[in-house]
Structure 1
Amino acid sequence: MQKVLDITKADLASVRSGRATPALVENIVITAYEGTQKLKVMEMATVTTPDARSILITPYDVTTVKDLVKGIMESHSGLNPVSDGDVVRVSIPPLSEEQRKEYLKLANAKLESGRIMIRQVRQEAMKDLKRAKDEKQIGEDEEKIGEKKVQELTDRMIRDIDEMGKRKEEELMQV
């Protein structure tokens, strides 16, 4: 279940919120070295956020600056990268009210997907407990205790996902 929580957190970080985060660009795939390699931005550069409205991408190989700019522009992320010597700067424009609502819908969809995955893990664990009881590996009391623990863990993970959602909503609605 922790893995599902981590996946949901990473998914949510990729939703643009008007504030600069490395997650907005680090997983964009770039075609580099004259089309011979496809690499993620985080594999070919250091991504930092010097302030709340900009991202600074410092490539490990200076010859890939143009590839980075081109790849980010072609990614349909709505970001506008600018080559600044040996680095790439990406300014994050403020979001309109309409964009905020769209990104909130997207974030909620990703959160619901996380909740569904958590419930699927719970369902598998419950089946495993029932199977173990049917095969006489555990007793009925142990099954009930196991089910209770699985349910408590599920409830805690769902609460964590809801908390992430509240933080993301606050971040999105902040002007």
Structure 2
Amino acid sequence: MKKIITISLLILAIVSSLLAGTMAYYTTNLDIATGSVTAKEFIFLSEEVQSFQVNEKIAPSETVSWSFKVMNHNLTAVTETEQYYKLTFDVTAADNQSAIEPLVVTVRDKAGNTLSSITGTDVFHLFDSFTPNGGNQTREYFVEMHWPADGTNDSAFAGSNFGTAIKVSAVAS
């Protein structure tokens, strides 16, 4: 009899504990947070219309100037990251011609500051950047090709056998 009472009390304690929650097992799911990411805009363009000319004639004491622009925006969006870029200027002899060796190629910014200058042929680079959250940003560069006239040997590079070409390319990251 004692055994039955003890077992009954034990069963009663277990059942009441389960009902009271002291021995209950609970599970729940929580949605802590949700989110997503979208890639920032990264735009690097040059102007659509270039002022560079092909086969433009030059003589001693003359200067030929061209300009171009690079920008961090288009008609609908602006770059949202810091953007570094490198401009490469490749000054070579024109196709099937010899270079005009005394020709001085100078690159200037919009304020007229000289950024780089070479004589003859060479490859050189300019580095710059666009800051983030700076809105629409445009950089304008001016390329000048000047043939200095020193009065000696000016005719040595005359004629259609001589020509110098410049190619400007850019990469951004």
TM over 0.5: no
Bigger CA radius of gyration: 2
* TM-score range relative to shorter protein: under 0.3
Instruction: Indicate the structure with greater strand content.
Output: 2
Instruction: Indicate the structure with greater helix content.
Output: 1
TM-score, normalised with respect to structure 2:
0.26
TM-score, normalised with respect to structure 1:
0.26
